[in-house]
Structure formats: C-alpha cells, structure tokens
Amino acid sequence: MSGRPLDVLEEALDAPVTVRLKDGNAHFGVLTGYDQHMNVVLEPTEIDGDADDEVEDTTIIRGDNVVSIDL
C-alpha cells in the first residue's frame, strides 16, 4: 500500500492493525473507523504495555498520540 495517509487508512478499514503510541504501548484490533485528524477506532482491542494485557470492546485513539499503524 502506498499513497496519502487517509487513503491507506481507507484501504485498511475492517482489517486487523497494530497502533503504536508515543508512550510505547501498542494496541491491536480491527480498524473500524478514522477521521481527517487520524483519530482511529479499534474493536475489540488488546493493549500491550507494561501492565498485563487488557482487552477492551472499543478503543478510540487520538491521532496526536499515534506513532505508527502497522497492517
């Protein structure tokens, strides 16, 4: 995939992704939405960080905190 960031997110809708954040945490889930600010919605989400892994039904991540989105 290549192109504009929002085009890449459009192609990744309903696909499993890993979202890496500035704080070092990574969120794993299915990309179900996004907006022009690159805020993203993941469902269900597994959180990998310093604490034990957690599972959330829906997670909204503010685009300012995103370092990368891996498909």
Is there a contact between 43 and 52 (Cβ–Cβ < 8 Å)? no
Domain count, the chain: 1
Residue 55 structural domain: 5-70
Which pLDDT tens digit goes with each residue over 18-70? Answer: 999 999 999 999 999 999 999 999 999 888 855 566 677 999 999 999 999 99
CATH number for position 20: 2.30.30.100
Across the strands, what pairs with 68?
20
pLDDT tens by residue, 3-32: 888 999 999 999 999 999 999 999 999 999
Q: Mean pLDDT in the chain?
A: 90
